[in-house]
Amino acid sequence: MKSEEKRKLLNEIKEYWNQHIHDLEIVQHPIGSKGFFEDLDEYRFDKLRYLPTVVDFKGYKGKKVLEIGCGAGIDLIRFARGGAEVTGVDLSETAIDLAKKNFQINGLKADLRVMNGEALEFKDKSFDLVYVHGVLQYTADSRKMVEESYRVLKEGGEFMGMVYNAKGWLMVLSKLMKVGLEHEDAPVLDLYTIKEFKELLSEFKEVKLVPERFPVKTRLHKGLKAFFYNTLFVNIFNLIPRSLVRPWGWHIMAFGIK
């Protein structure tokens, strides 16, 4: 992609995420209030039940953690509560303003900046962990974002990322039920196979990819579709042993070492 084209695309991405706060649909409290951040946290960790089982948010005490595409800081604040020294960057001003409010309301410290994760303004080897959850699939050049993550990690530092699975159950269901994916209208939304994601992370050592995120009852949709989804689909799907459905997890979580 030519640099002018890429600049334009990154601007569109920024504008899109300035207008779309992730998971805003389910929030009951006024934007930016304590209840607002609690709603976001409660919804996220109900929907993504797997996340605290694979990410040790309390395990980085005294370590330097960078989150790229931190949104309102819902995950980053968990690292901070665990004693990590946290930095969060996001292309969107709205996201960074909210993340600042989230940390302020909760009396926690963070270095939060509007920044492009494809051109990080940090020195080489600055962080112990780079965390990129649900971001690589929405950026203009995911390879560049991975290269930058690698560059700013210390030797032996950890990378954790998540992209959507091109062969995931939600993709299949969305096509069958003709219900669009969340943020399908974003300027970029790329899906990855496990093989493609592995290839993207080939610079890292000890790369482990784990498909996660299996169906839980939806609060987002209403009506007949939601009724069938909640009563039939979720219950039947979850009767199937995880070992059989594992390759169709909607989120591919990746772990790697520099």
The closest alpha carbon to 135, from 179, 81, 196, 88, belongs to 88
User: Which of the stretches 64-72, 151-159, 219-227, 244-252 binds ligand SAM when contact is defined by CB under 6 A?
Assistant: 64-72
User: Which of the stretches 104-112, 116-124, 152-160, 207-215 binds ligand SAM when contact is defined by CB under 6 A?
Assistant: 116-124
In the bound complex, what is the minimum distance in angstroms from residue 55's beta carbon to ligand SAM? 11
The answer to whether residues 54 and 253 touch, using CB atoms and an 8 Å cutoff, is yes
- Secondary structure class of 225 (helix, strand, coil): helix
Binding-site size for ligand SAM (CB under 6 A) equals 21
Q: What is the per-residue binding string for ligand SAM in 117-156, x denoting contact by CB under 6 A?
A: xx--------------xxx--xx-----------------
User: Which of the stretches 113-121, 152-160, 169-177, 206-214 binds ligand SAM when contact is defined by CB under 6 A?
Assistant: 113-121
Residue 134 or 157 with smaller CB distance to ligand SAM:
134
> By CB under 6 A, is residue 63 in contact with ligand SAM?
no
C-alpha of 5 from chain center = 25
- Secondary structure class of 212 (helix, strand, coil): strand
In the bound complex, what is the minimum distance in angstroms from residue 228's beta carbon to ligand SAM? 27
Q: Which of residues 16-55 bind ligand SAM (CB under 6 A)?
A: 17, 22
When computed from its CA atoms, the radius of gyration of the chain, rounded to whole angstroms, is 18
Nearest-angstrom CA–CA distance, 130 and 133: 10
> By CB under 6 A, is residue 116 in contact with ligand SAM?
yes
Q: Tell me, what DSSP letter sits at residue 247?
A: G
In the bound complex, what is the minimum distance in angstroms from residue 172's beta carbon to ligand SAM? 21
223 Ramachandran zone, left/alpha/beta (phi>0; psi -120 to 50): left
Residue 210 or 237 with smaller CB distance to ligand SAM:
210
Q: What is the per-residue binding string for ligand SAM in 65-104, x denoting contact by CB under 6 A?
A: ---xxxx--x--------------xxxx--x---------
In the bound complex, what is the minimum distance in angstroms from residue 13's beta carbon to ligand SAM? 5
> Which ranges of 48-114 would DSSP assign to H, the alpha helix?
51-54, 76-81, 93-105
- Alpha carbon of 119 to those of 27, 54, 77, 124, 232: distances in Å? 32, 28, 23, 12, 45
Q: Tell me, what DSSP letter sits at residue 161?
A: E
Which parts of this chain interact with ligand SAM (CB under 6 A)?
13, 17, 22, 68-71, 74, 89-92, 95, 116-118, 133-135, 138-139
